């Protein structure tokens, strides 16, 4: 069997009763977190082009755009808009091993297709669990591999995860689902050039992935075919994009649940600066009077450090600037969505110019890095073993609830996601912040 065939065989045999309680709880936690991030994006963004374009695309009244007036639209268009909304503030979760934003492509498809077909909450949850395992494992098979080649792993891997979620909810046969993965592979991409020259393309990537996954599933349902070797074949995903044919990303499906290894973001910024932000919160008073040096992982340095990062030109560039974000944390004592509304603050820019960075290998992946902040003499002023909100953080559930409410989700919506497995349909979760 090919890797795609093994993934589908496992996902199609999956029943909610087979899923450990910790994995079910993790999935509902991250679905709620992603939905609330989308609600926050609507509140903090005057007009998202993705929502405008999705509504222009229209379509039959199949699915809801999160926290948006105007009625239902076609499921592919709604999934596109919602994928962008979930990721728009860079506040959505991260799987450290795969360096993917796991919920951004999974949630929009689970909601859009689930709403379209009238799926029960338990069916939506199982489909989402299969999608989570797919995207996390596809990225983690080659840690930082896609990013090192200038590709956004969330977009690349999310397209396949979206196809799995859509195909399962549409009730495709296993053979048709494998075809959907093969079709999805020809749509998998997402370039990181925005890191060098700007642009809002990163925010669009999960939307592209979600829409592509639904389209792939519909094409397979209509009779289109795709190569079963789309992942591990000689011209498959890993061979074509990373030069690694034959790679198996699914060695132990159902034995280890990657959904439980996803990190919740306390800050709306690139995950690779989160450990530094946590360390900055611990700095003693007056520590920023002199120069500071922040240690960072070698894989993170090209993305969030380097010349010019201390003076971002746009809010999104600031989210990928370690010195600017750390400076904002030191001055304000917090980093929220509102932090990035003004990137020209003289006090933050002045301090950011005095924050240097130094590469320090940790032996782990970049998104799960430790961080130390040192003074000019090399004395350690603050350090953390990893960023908060991760798999070992016992406060993740509380963090998600507080974050969801602060982002504009209602207590009723929080309860609906918590009880997702028992809902007869998605009516209780598609009302947004209400």
The CATH number of the domain holding residue 60 is: 1.10.4100.10
> 191 pairs with which residues across the strands?
151
Same domain, 378 and 398: no
Distance CA 127, CA 129 (A): 5
> 296 pairs with which residues across the strands?
359
Distance CA 72, CA 124 (A): 19
Mean pLDDT over each residue of the chain, to the nearest integer: 94
pLDDT at position 288 is 85
In a domain, 233, yes or no: yes
Give the burial class of 53: count Cβ atoms within 10 A of its Cβ; 0-12 exposed, 13-18 middle, 19 or more buried: middle
Distance CA 309, CA 375 (A): 20
Same domain, 52 and 174: yes
Label residues 185-212 b or e (16+ Cβ within 10 Å = b): bebbebebebbeeeeebbbbbbbbbbbb
In a domain, 57, yes or no: yes
Same domain, 111 and 134: yes
Same domain, 197 and 220: yes
**If pLDDT is split at 50, 70 and 90, which confidence band does 47 have?**
low
Same domain, 186 and 210: yes
CATH number, domain at 334?
3.30.1330.120
pTM of the model: 0.93
Give how far Cα 181 sits from Cα of 4, 95, 135, 152, 173, Å.
7, 21, 12, 18, 13
Whether residue 226 contacts residue 167, with contact meaning beta carbons closer than 8 Å, is answered with no
Range of the domain at 119: 3-265+393-422
Same domain, 199 and 295: no
Same domain, 120 and 68: yes
Distance CA 265, CA 286 (A): 27
Distance CA 193, CA 173 (A): 38
The pLDDT tens digits for 233-274 are 999 999 999 999 999 999 999 999 999 999 999 999 999 999
In a domain, 215, yes or no: yes
The pLDDT tens digits for 386-405 are 999 999 899 999 999 999 99
Lowest mean pLDDT among 120-134, 178-192, 349-363: 349-363
Whether residue 336 contacts residue 342, with contact meaning beta carbons closer than 8 Å, is answered with no
Q: Is the pLDDT of residue 70 over 90?
A: no
SS3 state of residue 276:
helix
Which residue from 278, 379, 378 is spatially nearest to 330, judged by alpha carbons? 278
CA dihedral 67, 71, 73, 75 (to 10 degrees): 50
The pLDDT tens digits for 97-118 are 999 999 999 999 999 999 999 9
Same domain, 28 and 67: yes
Q: Is the pLDDT of residue 434 over 50?
A: no
Same domain, 44 and 128: yes
> 94 pairs with which residues across the strands?
263
Same domain, 350 and 204: no
Same domain, 164 and 141: yes
In a domain, 427, yes or no: no
In a domain, 166, yes or no: yes
pLDDT at position 362 is 67
Q: Is the pLDDT of residue 343 over 80?
A: yes
Q: What is the tally of structural domains in the chain?
A: 2
> 115 pairs with which residues across the strands?
none
Same domain, 8 and 74: yes
Query: Which helix (H) or strand (E) element contains residue 120?
Result: none
Residue 174: what are its φ and ψ, rounded to 5°? Answer: -60, -40
In a domain, 213, yes or no: yes
Q: What is the mean pLDDT of residues 287-293?
A: 90
């Amino acid at each position: 069997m090919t890797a795609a065939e093994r993934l589908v065989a496992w996902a199609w045999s999956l029943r909610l009763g087979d899923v450990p309680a910790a994995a079910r709880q993790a999935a509902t936690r991250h679905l709620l977190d992603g939905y609330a991030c989308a609600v926050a994006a609507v509140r903090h963004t005057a007009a998202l082009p993705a929502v405008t374009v999705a509504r222009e695309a229209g379509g039959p009244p199949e699915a809801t755009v999160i926290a948006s007036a105007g009625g239902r639209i076609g499921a592919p268009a709604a999934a596109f808009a919602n994928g962008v909304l979930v990721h728009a503030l860079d506040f959505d979760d991260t799987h450290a091993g795969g360096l993917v934003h796991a919920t951004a492509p999974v949630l929009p498809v689970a909601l859009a297709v689930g709403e379209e077909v009238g799926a029960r909450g338990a069916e939506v949850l199982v489909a989402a669990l299969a999608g989570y395992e797919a995207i996390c494992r596809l990225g983690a098979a080659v840690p930082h591999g896609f990013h090192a080649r200038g590709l956004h792993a969330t977009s690349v891997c999310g397209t396949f995860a979206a196809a799995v979620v859509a195909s399962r909810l549409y009730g495709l046969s296993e053979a048709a689902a494998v075809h959907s993965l093969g079709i999805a592979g020809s749509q998998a991409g997402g370039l990181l050039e925005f890191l060098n020259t700007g642009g809002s393309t990163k925010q669009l990537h999960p939307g592209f992935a979600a829409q592509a996954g639904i389209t792939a599933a519909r094409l397979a349902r209509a009779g289109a075919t795709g190569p079963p070797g789309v992942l591990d074949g000689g011209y498959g995903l890993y061979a074509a994009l990373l030069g690694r044919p034959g790679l198996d990303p699914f060695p132990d499906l159902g034995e280890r649940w990657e959904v439980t290894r996803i990190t919740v973001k306390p800050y709306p910024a690139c995950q690779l600066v989160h450990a530094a932000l946590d360390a900055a919160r611990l700095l003693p008073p007056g520590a920023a009077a002199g120069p500071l040096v922040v240690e960072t992982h070698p894989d993170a340095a090209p993305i969030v450090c380097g010349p010019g990062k201390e003076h971002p030109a746009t809010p999104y560039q600031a989210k990928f600037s370690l010195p600017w974000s750390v400076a904002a944390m030191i001055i304000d004592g917090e980093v929220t969505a509102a932090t990035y509304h003004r990137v020209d603050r003289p006090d933050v820019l002045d301090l950011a110019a005095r924050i240097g960075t130094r590469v320090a290998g940790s032996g782990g992946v970049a998104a799960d890095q430790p961080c130390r902040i040192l003074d000019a003499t090399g004395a350690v002023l603050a350090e953390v073993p990893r960023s908060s909100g991760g798999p070992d953080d016992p406060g993740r559930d509380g963090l998600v609830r507080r974050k969801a409410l602060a982002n504009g989700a209602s207590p009723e919506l929080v309860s609906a996601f918590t009880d997702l497995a028992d809902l007869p349909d998605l009516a209780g979760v598609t009302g947004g912040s209400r």
